[in-house]
Structure 1
Amino acid sequence: MTTARSLVVVCGATMAIACASSPAEQNGEQRAEPPVVQVVGHDFALDAPDSLPPGLTRFTFRSDGTVPHEVSIARVKQGVSLDSLLRLELNGADITGLYDPGEGLLYIDVGETVDAALLVTLERGRDYVLICTLDEKGKPHSMLGMVRGLRVTAR
């Protein structure tokens, strides 16, 4: 039996931890559930869609790896090329100034399940970065390939 020990960190107004029900639902109003996007962590890659439509989206995280992993989701700053940001990260450059505050994070240890999710309001035409910043023998997982971009399409 696996245990459910997870960490969810949220900073900023564009993301929130998924709750059992919203205030609107508690008042009897029906609200469409946001689409669920499962991000999968491997040793060492992140599987996720390349693009998504704008709007409220529920991100979940599963790890198929043999070491702990996390996924952080952050919006890329206006004017920063997603391709350049990804290339810089893979080469070990510090990219923290290239994305906006408001990062959310899901963490999972080996053999565990995560019941938590991040609710993110994806903005039309913006890019996001998904990244694992944990360390493996002195090298960040992101430099080993656990970084990918997400483009939000115009609907």
Structure 2
Amino acid sequence: MGTNKMRDISREQFESFGREVMGWEDDDFRLGSNGSTYYWSTTGDAWVFWQASRETLVVGAQHARDSAELRRVCQARDDAKREVDQLKAELAGLRTGFEAQNQVNAELRAEVESLRKAITDINGALEREYWSEYAGLEETRAILNAAMGQGEQP
């Protein structure tokens, strides 16, 4: 709606208010020679106050809309901050779990390497004992006993 049309509607409301509430006559709303201001200064002053009160209502309504929007934006910001904090906590937990898993993996790799060496040693001892007519199984037993001691879980 254009500014002039809004002003005309507001002027109509003002004049209706003046007639119904204030008891003014049609002559009280006579326009001056320029066609835009009222002839009587009291009517002109009342018109200025009327316009100011309407602008205050418009500004107040806009302020209420802006305040509501600001509250929504602040709530969204707070929700996002909470989500970021939750994600940071979750990430810290995952990092701790990842580090623990890496430690377990390192320990298992060391144990697997130790068992591979024991199997290689046993294989070599069995091969030597198989081909040696005078050798006993003592070397194999010693290797097995050492491997079993290293392979036990704490």
TM-score range, shorter chain: under 0.3
TM-score by length of 1: 0.17
Q: Which has the larger radius of gyration?
A: 2
Q: Which has the larger strand fraction?
A: 1
Q: Which has the larger helix fraction?
A: 2
TM-score by length of 2: 0.17
Structure with higher RCO (Cα < 8 A, 6+ apart): 1
